[in-house]
Chain A
Amino acid sequence: MPFATTSLPLASLVDAGAIAARNSTRWRPGLAAAGKAALHSEVFASPNEAAGAGTALALALDDWRNLPRGDAHAGTPAEPDARPVLWVQTRDAARLSGRPYQAGLPKEVRDRLIHVLADTAQDALFALEEGVRCRDIAWVMGEIAGNPKALDFTASRRLTLASEKYGVPLFLVRLDAARDLSSARMRWDVTSAASDAPRWNAQAPGAPVWRAELFRARGHAPGEWLLHEQGGTLKARRERQADNDTGALNWTAGLQRRRLSQQA
């Protein structure tokens, strides 16, 4: 059935959808280029896999690469950003899911990592806040295991405000944690997904792929993506091939299709 001959109710639905889509755009990689990067994100993950830290690093790198740099008007080339990255872990988190290993880190992070090992969650929160207040730090990664009492809504709000005041992004990986109250601007739930087969050895594990569910975000509709890195940029695709074909920007596409299939 051609689209032009749809009945009136569907057309009104499309209009409403267009307005809603303008107000609340879908999340997509590279939003930092438009200045829409969230400064405080939480990533929930299992401690038995490195998907949480991997996704947090990938998201942070995506924001960092797309950050507008240099003086666009004067046309001066941007100098490379060599500020260090702060990675804070509680002792529990380090014991459960290991410490960062330099040879396995992405190239951009490899030689500018500063690692902080905190005994308790309070100390880790202190370190996160100090990191977020520092203008010489590119971004802050945190790893906290469980739902410690110190990390309540007040503490997370404090981190959000500090990070938005000083403009330093914060990515907090929550290992083995329940989805408690938090003021983080984006909250992800991440697990590993089967990787694509490498070109030369189909039996080997390929480049990492993560199934990331954005379950709460300010300014974005929730959704689920398969994230992977390709040629130094973050790519997101939907699990169903059909979702990838229609414009990813129009979140009403799914509704339309359902409507159309019902009518057919």
Chain B
Amino acid sequence: MSTRSGDLGSSRRILAIWLPAFAIDRWRIVTREAGGTLDSGPLVLIADTAHGPRIEAANRIATDAGARRGMMLADARTLCPEIATAPSDPAGDLAFLEQLAVRARRWGPWSAIDEPDGLLVDVTAVAHLFGGEEALLEDVRAGFARRDLAIRTAIAPTAGAAWALAHFGRAGAIVDRELEPALADLPVAALRLGSDVLTVLRRLGLKQIGDITTIGRDALQRRFRKRKVPEANPLLRLDQLLGRIPEPLLPVIEQHAPFTQRRLMEPIRHRALLDQVVSDLAGDMAQLLESKGLGARRLELGLWRVDGEVAVRRLEMSAATRDPAHICRLFAARLDDIEAGFGIELLRVRASWTEPLALAQGYIEAQAESPGTSLATCIDRLTVRLGPKAVSRPVPFASHIPERAQRWKPPLEREPPTQGMLEFHARPLKMLDTPERIAVLYASPDGYPQRFRWRGRVHEVARVEGPERIAPEWWRERGSVRLRDYYRIEDERGRRYWIYRQGIAGDGRGGAPDWFLQGLCA
């Protein structure tokens, strides 16, 4: 699941359920079922550590007496000598939580565990089945109360916001549109940050989420620029809370990739039959995907042989598709090296990566007018035959060094926004993969080149423009890297090149500078 950015009000509704006394509640349930006696005085659940027993959870009476989670038992005993103990059971707790998460699917089609003591349920567009969101929360409360589990709940457009409201907001909070003001009064701990980051924020005087927005984003961005993990970066967490960036969560019951299979009565050993079965499978897969409104980006074809071998062929498409003819053709290119052995008895196609693909109007006129293939189809065919790295597109990259200023990206990916190029920077049409060394004759070491030898031929320099000095990127490279002086030159026969001298004489970074030819101008 990912919470979409943008229109918060209309997008998702996430229900967060927090069980504040989860371990103790579960201990009571287990003890009651076993016929034991429930706690009447202070009780703590303990785990053994290298330094002695440590408290994992405490009931209300023990908490009032001074016992806290994370305290050593010996310390708690000095405060409250009559404290009773029971072993904690984290594995059992997790299994129980998973059960609860599956059960929580009665309130929504999708639920996730929020370790160690919470649940998240997607209740988008289901509240009306319970008579509104208030009634839904009431139903949740009653459901857990029947099992003697204490809970706090909240409904919000993002998982992060729902979590924050369930833990720190008023009980049963429902936030719809005005997300930011509703969260402003919550403490910064509601951002789900690590304890060290919370310490930093406390020292900065930032106590509430609203404070973070008041001091300006740039200041915090500078301070936390190295922290890429959301737990360590309050700005990332804030964006997740407000739904500006997605926050993936694992559902408790994973969504199955659509798959179709054919068990064959008689093992097949010949290519013609194999092609037939693959085309049948592609047709089934197209129907299946169409019924779900999906298109496949990655397909896996598994071929189970009689003698126990399995061959798997994977396809990755540049755009979501479910066209059986296209899928068949792509697979056909990958089936040439299949060893049938004693025969193939089972084939299975699985769409392990799908994207939503709405039903589209079929070609009525477009196909008749222009009979060619579409761009995505063309790219897919090229990628399948030539390999995924072979097809690419150049995109600009922010760097001064010419060979770093261009990167290669998959062809149909959207281009990142970049700064415009400077018009007065004349660049060559083509660039050699590695600059080739040339021997240059010049009048003075720092002057214009007069003649050079490249690939065994001598070129007389007729016209020259330069130098364009490009300094090394000191923030990235070592100090001994030399600068480059680029010259655009034309030789006596009109051939135009882009050459550079690496370093200048006497720059203290090596001997006489070398010359290289890097680009061929049109």
Q: Which of A83, A117, A203 contacts B463 (CB 8 A)?
A: A203
Chain A min CB distance to B409 (Å): 10
A101-B428, A101-B519, A116-B386 are known contacts. Are A192 and B495 too (CB-CB below 8 A)?
yes
Given the complex of chains A and B, what is the CA–CA distance between A166 and B378 in angstroms? 14
Interface residues of B in 370-408 (CB under 8 A from A): 370-375, 377-379, 381-382, 385-386, 389-396, 402, 405-406, 408
Q: Are B495 and A48 in contact (CB under 8 A)?
A: yes
Contacts of A131 in B (CB 8 A): 378
Contacts of A165 in B (CB 8 A): 371
Interface residues of A in 96-115 (CB under 8 A from B): 97-105, 111, 113-115
Q: Are B391 and A116 in contact (CB under 8 A)?
A: yes
> Which of B154-162, B206-214, B430-438, B473-481 makes up part of the contact surface?
B430-438
Q: Which of B391, B408, B430, B465 contacts A104 (CB 8 A)?
A: B430
A54-B429, A134-B378 are known contacts. Are A100 and B464 too (CB-CB below 8 A)?
no
Q: Say whether B484 faces chain A, with CB atoms less than 8 Å apart.
A: no
Chain B min CB distance to A50 (Å): 4
Q: Which of A53, A103, A135 contacts B373 (CB 8 A)?
A: A135
A102-B396, A104-B519 are known contacts. Are A50 and B428 too (CB-CB below 8 A)?
yes
Q: Say whether B150 faces chain A, with CB atoms less than 8 Å apart.
A: no
Contacts of B494 in A (CB 8 A): 191-195, 209, 211
Contacts of B488 in A (CB 8 A): 204-205
Closest chain A residue to B405, Cβ basis: A103
Closest chain A residue to B493, Cβ basis: A192
Q: Say whether B421 faces chain A, with CB atoms less than 8 Å apart.
A: yes
Contacts of A243 in B (CB 8 A): none
Q: Are B375 and A84 in contact (CB under 8 A)?
A: yes
A101-B519, A135-B372, A135-B374 are known contacts. Are A53 and B430 too (CB-CB below 8 A)?
yes
Closest chain B residue to A103, Cβ basis: B427
Q: Are B522 and A51 in contact (CB under 8 A)?
A: yes
Q: Say whether B462 faces chain A, with CB atoms less than 8 Å apart.
A: yes
Number of interface residues of B (CB under 8 A): 55
Q: Are B393 and A113 in contact (CB under 8 A)?
A: yes
Q: Are B394 and A113 in contact (CB under 8 A)?
A: yes
Chain B min CB distance to A51 (Å): 7
Pick 28 A–B contacts, CB within 8 A, sort by A: A48-B520, A53-B430, A54-B522, A57-B429, A84-B375, A99-B433, A100-B394, A101-B429, A103-B425, A104-B430, A104-B521, A104-B522, A113-B393, A115-B391, A116-B386, A119-B386, A127-B382, A134-B372, A134-B374, A134-B375, A135-B372, A137-B378, A166-B372, A192-B493, A193-B494, A195-B494, A203-B464, A204-B464
In the complex, the 7 A-B pairs of residues with the closest C-beta atoms, listed nearest first: A54-B522, A135-B372, A204-B465, A50-B520, A136-B375, A98-B430, A205-B490
Beyond A101-B406, A104-B426, A205-B489, list 20 extra A-B contacts (CB 8 Å).
Answer: A50-B428, A50-B522, A84-B411, A98-B519, A101-B427, A101-B519, A102-B395, A102-B396, A114-B411, A115-B391, A123-B386, A133-B378, A134-B374, A134-B377, A136-B374, A166-B371, A193-B493, A194-B462, A204-B464, A208-B521
Q: Which residues of B contact A (CB under 8 A)?
A: 370-375, 377-379, 381-382, 385-386, 389-396, 402, 405-406, 408, 411, 415, 421, 425-433, 454-455, 457, 462-465, 488-490, 493-496, 519-522
